[in-house]
């Protein structure tokens, strides 16, 4: 019965916005600063490291995986191990996480970049003595801004 009902309605999802209205642009929290880009433009694999965040940045990063943002179509993927990652995405700041983050960074193959998500992670990168190649400011930054930083890293055109 539910199959017939679904066939009758058709596709009910919305298209990804090509342009954002001025009212929606005001809701986008955050500022993106990209200092370095990757030498390749096809796809990137991200190792997400939670360095003791308050989970607000984690939720924004998780939203990139839902069908609205669908960053897989842009060639951006999460990887469970730093050994296969091109980008280390850091959220949060906790002194106890300095050594694990350093080990994860050292395990990554070159070329590698560090993206600091949120206001507190920028301070954490300086504590770890890691140079953040891209910073997404905001508490928490919107998923659009995180996606914008990831697209700028690869050198792709930003949709927003």
Question: Higher-confidence residue: 141 or 29?
Answer: 141
Q: What pTM was estimated for this model as a whole?
A: 0.78
Question: What are the respective helix, strand and coil percentages of the chain, to the nearest 5?
Answer: 40, 20, 40
The better pLDDT of the pair 73, 22 is held by 73
Residue 16 has pLDDT above 60, yes or no: no
Residue 23 has pLDDT above 70, yes or no: no
DSSP secondary structure code for residue 11 in this structure: -
pLDDT surpassing 90 at residue 75? no
> What values do phi and psi take at 33, rounded to 5?
-125, 115
pLDDT tens-digit map of 83-137: 999 999 999 888 888 899 999 999 999 889 999 998 888 888 888 888 888 888 8
Residue 41 has pLDDT above 90, yes or no: no
Which residues contact residue 20 at a Cβ distance below 8 angstroms, ignoring those fewer than 6 apart?
28, 144, 160
Tokens of 136: 């997404």
For the chain, which domains are there?
20-154 (3.40.50.12280)
pLDDT at 83: 94
Strand partners of residue 88: 47, 114
């Amino acid at each position: 019965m539910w199959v017939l009902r679904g066939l009758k309605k058709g596709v009910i999802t919305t298209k990804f916005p090509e342009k954002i209205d001025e009212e929606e642009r005001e809701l986008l929290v955050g500022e993106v600063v990209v200092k370095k880009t990757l030498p390749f433009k096809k796809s990137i694999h991200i190792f997400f490291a939670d360095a003791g965040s308050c989970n607000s940045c984690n939720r924004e990063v998780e939203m990139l995986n839902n069908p609205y943002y669908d960053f897989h179509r842009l060639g951006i993927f999460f990887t469970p191990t730093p050994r296969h990652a091109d980008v280390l995405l850091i959220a949060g700041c906790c002194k106890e996480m300095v050594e694990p983050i350093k080990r994860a960074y050292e395990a990554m193959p070159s070329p590698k970049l560090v993206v600091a998500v949120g206001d507190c992670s920028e301070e954490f990168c300086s504590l770890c003595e890691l140079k953040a190649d891209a910073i997404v400011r905001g508490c928490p930054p919107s998923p659009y801004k995180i996606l914008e930083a990831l697209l700028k890293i690869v050198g792709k055109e930003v949709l927003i």
